[in-house]
Amino acid sequence: MSSNIQPGGVPVLVLKEGTSRSRGHEAQHTNIEAAKIVAESVRSALGPKGMDKMLVDNFGDVTITSDGATIMKEMDVQNPAAKMLVEVSKVQDNEAGDGTTSAVIIAGELLTKAEELIQKGIHPTVIIDGYRLAQEKALQTVEKIALPVDLKKQDFLKKAAATSMASKLVAEYKEYLADIVVKAMLLVAEKEGTKYKVDVDDVRVEKKTGESLKGTSLINGIVLDKEIVHSGMPKRVEKAKIALLDAALEIEKGDYDAKINIEQPEQIEAFLKQEEITIKAMVDKLVAVGANVVICQKGIDDLAQHFMSRKGMAAVRRAKKSDMEKLAKATGGKIVTNLDDIAASDLGYAALVEERKIAEDKMTFIEGAKNPKAVTILVRGSSPRMNNETERSIHDALCVVRDLLQEPKILAGGSAPEMEMSKVIRKYAESLPGREQLAVKAFAEALEVLTITLSENAGLDPIDVLSDLRSRHEKGETWAGIEVLSGKVQDMSKTDVFEPLTVKKQILKSATEAAMMILKIDDVIASQKMKSPPMPPGGMGGMGGGMGGMPGGMGGF
Ligand SMILES: Nc1ncnc2c1ncn2[C@@H]1O[C@H](COP(=O)(O)OP(=O)(O)OP(=O)(O)O)[C@@H](O)[C@H]1O
Ligand SMILES: [Mg+2]
């Protein structure tokens, strides 16, 4: 494959020996198949009736999730075209925070429909052009039907946050958690004119196993999963002046083994005395600048602890770097790397620093900080696995609230927007000439995959639901959708299922872009290194174990 035979019979070698190459229809077909398999693998996770996935990594660690981005990340996909769909979920996660499963499913369906058209002899470029036109129409349609949200009232923020959690393991507690998520986001949001500036990273999530998620709480400050180091130190310091240290409060051991010859007992004493003096000088420096709390990223020597407790200081050691940065932001303090340079102006402030017992562990709470833009959600699920999935679900919900604060427009869910877009695009297609018309229509049909998947996952007949919804939208029922908990086709704007416009627009963009990118490829040149292991028949070689099992024809990679 990597050479051409010239008329003279001399082969011209262009590519390295062992390089494999597939071109034209073959390349397109294999790429599309691979991407479809990936999309297929997340389908059953969509919506509140969707199933969860159990992912086992190479170390045997188990993750249980229904979060599209997490499933895709953990799947360890090898095939390059399939990897592009993994990218879709990443882009979706970064840009909107929710909607990752939908984006992948729609991208997969756009490719399925494209393949049908290619088989009918329509050139991929025509399909790509058609998809581009249809995507524009889709975006215009959702913009048009989106409902404005009054941010003074929190009801829609809560509904959208709850909807994003409805499809997760935490669904039972979605209202309770949505309330916390909205409160947390509003505490850290900054109003700039009529707009909001928000950063989801200002809301921290700490996890501690507890009785149930009902025990989850919002703390107006930062929680460190650390205890106060010494029993003689105060467990509660009000009006805390906090020193943030990235320096050890101990005598640093040199890089070389030092050998000290001691011949007389007095010398040992002098040596120890010197050590004591050095450590005491460190603590004295902290006292001199007025610190009554010390949060140290490194270790704190026993002797230092002793001196500090005598001065009534509280201290935490080995704090995480990320926590230190948050603390600096929240308390207005500076992280000091050299104790000699510390000044009173480097200290941060918090109204209260307190050690509290949570479950079996002790945690340190830093509340009422100078800058209130740091809040913590303390998750108390019944197991570490539950806590991890809760953290992921809270992340989605925080993003949804952020999206709404930045663009206060909302859509009802249950595939109502997709059905409406589908109707508008189908009508639009009729105004176009032959081949493009087919591509635009294919896009309209692909959007219906959401209705089909939501219905399938809820055990409903997708064909019945789809035809009912099509005819309702034809009659002008913009918000007709499928409410999967009741299993009824209904006006979704009368339910509590709402999603931000931002998420939907991003789904359309990321799904269409990925499909177009895969369709554009007609030549796959793979170096020998990329060759995948021999393929067992029948698709996925097990989640997490890699996607070695692509269907036949993928051997070129
Ligand atoms: N009660 C409901 N009835 C019908 N549809 C619902 C209901 N609740 C949520 N949905 C729909 O479920 C879809 C979201 O499902 P899900 O959260 O599993 O996937 P996603 O948001 O696309 O991806 P992910 O959350 O994994 O990033 C949305 O289309 C939403 O409208
Ligand atoms: Mg979701």
Q: What's 84-151 look like in SS3?
A: HHHHHHHHHHHHCCCCHHHHHHHHHHHHHHHHHHHHCCCCHHHHHHHHHHHHHHHHHHHHHHCEECCC
Ligand 1 atom closest to residue 483's alpha carbon, by position in its atom list: 3
Q: What is the CA radius of gyration of the chain?
A: 30
Taking residues 528-534, report their average pLDDT.
50
Taking residues 107-132, report their average pLDDT.
94
In Å, what is the CA distance from 539 to each residue of 26, 30, 530, 553? 18, 13, 18, 12
Q: Binning pLDDT at 50, 70 and 90, where does residue 333 land?
A: very high
Question: Mean pLDDT score of the chain, rounded to an integer?
Answer: 87
Task: List beta partners, residue 224.
Answer: 364
CA pair distance 470, 359, nearest whole angstrom = 53
pLDDT at 162: 96
pLDDT at 544: 39
Q: Binning pLDDT at 50, 70 and 90, where does residue 543 land?
A: very low
The mean-pLDDT minimum among 142-146, 332-336, 551-555 falls in 551-555
- DSSP letter assigned to residue 340: G
Q: Could you say which ligand is closest to the alpha carbon of residue 167? A: 1
Instruction: Give me the residue label for tokens 């991208």.
Output: 107
Ligand 1 atom closest to residue 70's alpha carbon, by position in its atom list: 26
Q: Binning pLDDT at 50, 70 and 90, where does residue 15 land?
A: low
Assess whether pLDDT exceeds 60 at residue 554: no
- Tens of pLDDT, residue by residue over 192-251, are 888 888 988 889 899 999 888 998 999 888 999 999 999 999 999 999 999 999 998 888
Residue 207, number of CB atoms within 10 A of its CB: 18
pLDDT at 536: 39
Q: How far is the CA of 50 from the centre of ligand 1 (A)?
A: 9
Taking residues 46-67, report their average pLDDT.
84
Q: Binning pLDDT at 50, 70 and 90, where does residue 304 land?
A: very high
Q: For this structure, is 67 an active site residue?
A: yes
Q: Could you say which ligand is closest to the alpha carbon of residue 92? A: 1
Of residues 57 and 130, the one with the higher pLDDT is: 130
Taking residues 148-167, report their average pLDDT.
93
**% of the chain with per-residue pLDDT over 70:** 88
Half-sphere exposure of 89 (CA within 13 A, CB side): 25
Q: Could you say which ligand is closest to the alpha carbon of residue 412? A: 1
Assess whether pLDDT exceeds 90 at residue 31: no
Helix (H, G, I), strand (E, B) or coil at 61: coil
Half-sphere exposure of 150 (CA within 13 A, CB side): 3
**% of the chain with per-residue pLDDT over 90:** 60
Active-site residue identified among 63, 100, 364, 376: 100
Q: Model-level pTM?
A: 0.82
Of residues 29 and 179, the one with the higher pLDDT is: 179
Surrounding ion ligand 2 within 5 Å at CB are 98, 164
Pocket residue to mutate for ligand 1, from 395, 454, 469, 494, most atoms within 8 A of Cβ: 454
Q: Is 458 in the pocket of ligand 1 (CB under 6 A)?
A: no
Pocket residue to mutate for ligand 1, from 92, 94, 101, 465, most atoms within 8 A of Cβ: 101
Structure tokens at 126: 């025509």
pLDDT at 500: 96
The mean-pLDDT minimum among 156-160, 372-376, 440-444 falls in 372-376
pLDDT at 440: 97
Q: Binning pLDDT at 50, 70 and 90, where does residue 11 land?
A: low
Q: For this structure, is 100 an active site residue?
A: yes
Assess whether pLDDT exceeds 70 at residue 532: no
